[in-house]
Chain A
């Protein structure tokens, strides 16, 4: 599975170009601080099914990211990678962003046009299990959707773990 962070807007046409560029910059910065380069292998776990993907980006020294704190870069990198994983791996596309307090970050449509609430989080280094449990619990409160999912990305490895049916 090839995940091209330069073309997130092709996977998710409702993302604006500035946001795609920002996501790519932050992913480049977050992955770069662990020594990863374009083409890095991403270990995936989609509902406990293991897999591999390659991550591609074009910007190696994003100057704009220096103004942002480490935590924000981690979260934004996780958003970029998660949106690529669900777009390429599951065929989900962004319907709209949810506001803070709505028990999820995104509403997406799956291939059958069902509504999926997705909560995303990032970890710089270390285990994802507890964070995934927290995010699963959080998104379980989302209303007006057919499916609920949580995705946690760890940048050091890197790896992405997604659980649906929350």
Chain B
């Protein structure tokens, strides 16, 4: 959780630094890239808390928070952020559509990560099982 005392200037500098770092790690094939994109998503989310959806930087940050969560492989976070942003009253129809497309893009990430399971059971079932596994205290059984 980022400090509330950070200014927007500081957040824009932080998100710039975080994006450059995450992209560098991704290009190098580093296992740390996913964690770095999660940092990006968190900073973008902090910007959304200071700027409304109808501000150009607010809209960019909302897309960015979802986009980075998808890049981090955190499908649950991506969908939760997308639902929250789409429900905001000052979100335009165009931004809603863009956020939905980004969130749907996480389906492609799941299908690419587990291609056989995606073909056999579908992305929705994979999502249900991974969510159930994350929520239960023991690894088995998943119903």
Contact = CB atoms under 8 A, between A and B. Distances in A.
Contacts of B60: 96, 98, 102, 107, 144
Interface string B42-53: 000000000000
B99 to A, nearest CB: 13
A19 B17 contact: yes
Interface centre among B9, B16, B27, B59, by most chain A C-beta atoms within 10 angstroms, is B16
A115 B63 contact: no
Nearest to A115: B56
B4 to A, nearest CB: 20
A145 B56 contact: yes
B74 to A, nearest CB: 15
Contacts, number: 47
Contact of A97 (B9, B20, B56, B71): B20
B23 to A, nearest CB: 7
A6 to B, nearest CB: 18
A97 B59 contact: no
B40 interface: yes
A111 interface: no
Interface in B110-130: none
B25 interface: no
A99 B16 CA distance: 9
B56 A99 contact: no
Contacts of A46: none
B19 A19 contact: no
Contacts of B40: 99
A126 interface: no
A2 interface: no
B23 A100 contact: yes
Contacts of B57: 96, 144
B1 interface: no
Contacts of A107: 60
Contacts of A144: 56-57, 59-60
B82 interface: no
A102 B20 CA distance: 14
Interface centre among A13, A97, A98, A107, by most chain B C-beta atoms within 10 angstroms, is A97
B77 to A, nearest CB: 15
Given A97-B20, A115-B56, A145-B56, A102 B12 contact: no
A94 B12 CA distance: 10
A54 interface: no
B51 to A, nearest CB: 11
Nearest to A100: B23
Contacts of A94: 16
B15 interface: yes
B27 A97 contact: no
Interface of A: 13-16, 19, 72, 94-102, 107, 115, 143-145
